[in-house]
């Protein structure tokens, strides 16, 4: 397992982002110095970005880009894949395709979709919005497959979005139209709100999990709350997870300090688990 931290690209403007914001080269160097292996990019409009330059900066810092996240498309520009207005929905799909192209140019294996799926309206329009989301995601899956990029749906808690709050809901929806085509991003912080058992939901989700995000129980960096990260890492290892754990935590007191605290908490656990696996001859 490897550790990643989110980095916002320069065209984003949201000061509340759970990410390092500002000079990309500086932040890539910081993560490398802290022994992170990857930087998960949070983007808004790839048309304003130079993918080749960003890839070079990450490579020079010794970092991979394990995923590109799309939350700012919704938060800053109001885009929604379930929008009932066809023109608005086409705008959301087109921008997401641009993110997919950006990820492919970076060599990033996946694009994460959380709040970009959109908030469902109530009443009779709810089912129509779900059908619109199915149509959008089906088109995007075909587009992404042609570019060698995966898509991952993130179950998120009810205070963030009003559908696909649990692993079971997300799997049921995906299996109804896209079995085996779309993976899951498992966010332990959201799971704490919605799942009857965090570990049962992780085990259920695991065959489809391509990326993991964490924060502590209070949304601070790992080590600032009550979450048992040692046990979480052990369960991931027992399941055979070999991907990235990305820290999506509040930037308190600063994002850089959150990155430092997360590394201080998590990296020894990853090393310990790797050494134990080698000791048992299970690697």
- Which residues 6+ apart lie within 8 Å of 181 measured at CB? 141, 145, 174
Please tell me the predicted confidence (pLDDT) of residue 282: 65
Helix (H) or strand (E) holding 120, with range, is none
Residue 248 designated active-site: yes
Could you tell me the two tokens for 21? 């914001």
Whether the Cβ atoms of residue 61 and residue 28 lie closer than 8 Å to each other: yes
Q: Is 10 exposed, middle or buried (0-12, 13-18, 19+ CB in 10 A)?
A: middle
Whether the Cβ atoms of residue 67 and residue 99 lie closer than 8 Å to each other: no
With the C-alpha atoms ordered 83, 137, 204, 114, is the resulting torsion angle positive or negative?
negative
DSSP 35-67: T--EEEEE-S-GGGS-HHHHHHHHHHTT-B---
- Within the chain, strands assigned E span 2-8, 38-42, 68-69, 110-113, 150-153, 183-187, 209-214, 244-247
Please tell me the predicted confidence (pLDDT) of residue 192: 97
Distance CA 150, CA 152 (A): 7
At residue 109, φ and ψ (nearest 5 deg) are -75, -15
Could you tell me the two tokens for 129? 């919005």
Please tell me the predicted confidence (pLDDT) of residue 277: 66
CB atoms within 10 A of CB 160: 15
The catalytic position among 40, 194, 195, 248 is 248
Distance CA 282, CA 106 (A): 33
Q: Is the peptide bond before 141 cis (omega within 30 degrees of 0)?
A: no
- Looking at the DSSP assignment, which residues form a beta bridge with residue 5? 39
Please tell me the predicted confidence (pLDDT) of residue 276: 59
Please tell me the predicted confidence (pLDDT) of residue 118: 98
- Which residues 6+ apart lie within 8 Å of 75 measured at CB? 14, 115
Domain boundaries defined on the chain: 2-279
Note the pTM of the prediction, 2 decimals.
Answer: 0.96
CB atoms within 10 A of CB 102: 23
Domain 2-279: CATH architecture, name and number where available: Alpha-Beta Barrel (3.20)
Going residue by residue through the chain, which has 283 residues, state the pLDDT in tens, using 9 for 90 and above: 999 999 999 999 999 999 999 999 999 999 999 999 999 999 999 999 999 999 999 999 999 999 999 999 999 999 999 999 999 999 999 999 999 999 999 999 999 999 999 999 999 999 999 999 999 999 999 999 999 999 999 999 999 999 999 999 999 999 999 999 999 999 999 999 999 999 999 999 999 999 999 999 999 999 999 999 999 999 999 999 999 999 999 999 999 999 999 999 999 999 998 875 665 566 5
The catalytic position among 40, 154, 194, 195 is 154
- Which residues 6+ apart lie within 8 Å of 184 measured at CB? 152, 153, 154, 155, 167, 170, 171, 205, 208, 209, 210
């Amino acid at each position: 397992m490897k550790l990643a931290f989110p980095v916002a690209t320069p065209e984003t403007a949201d000061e509340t982002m759970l990410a390092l914001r500002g000079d990309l080269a500086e932040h890539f160097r910081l993560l490398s110095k802290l022994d992170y292996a990857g930087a998960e990019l949070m983007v808004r409009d790839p048309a304003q970005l130079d993918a080749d330059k960003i890839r070079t900066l990450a490579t020079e810092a010794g970092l991979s880009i394990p995923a590109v996240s799309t939350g700012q498309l919704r938060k800053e520009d109001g885009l929604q894949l379930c929008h009932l207005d066809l023109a608005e929905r086409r705008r959301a799909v087109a921008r997401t395709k641009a993110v997919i192209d950006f990820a492919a140019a970076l060599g990033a294996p996946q694009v994460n979709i959380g709040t970009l799926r959109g908030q469902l309206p109530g009443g009779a329009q709810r089912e129509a919005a779900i059908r619109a989301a199915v149509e959008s995601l089906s088109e995007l899956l075909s587009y992404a497959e042609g570019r060698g990029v995966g898509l991952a749906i993130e179950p998120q808690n009810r205070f963030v979005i009003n559908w696909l709050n649990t692993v079971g809901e997300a799997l049921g929806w995906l299996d109804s139209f896209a079995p085996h085509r779309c993976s899951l991003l498992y966010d332990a912080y959201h799971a704490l709100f919605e799942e009857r058992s965090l570990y049962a939901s992780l085990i259920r989700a695991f065959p489809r999990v391509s990326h993991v995000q964490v924060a502590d129980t209070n949304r601070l960096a790992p080590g600032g709350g009550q979450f048992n990260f040692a046990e979480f890492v052990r369960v991931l290892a027992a399941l055979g997870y070999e991907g990235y754990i990305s820290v999506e935590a509040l930037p308190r007191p600063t994002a850089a300090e959150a990155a430092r605290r997360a590394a201080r908490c998590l990296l020894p656990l990853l090393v310990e688990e790797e050494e134990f696996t080698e000791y048992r001859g299970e690697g």
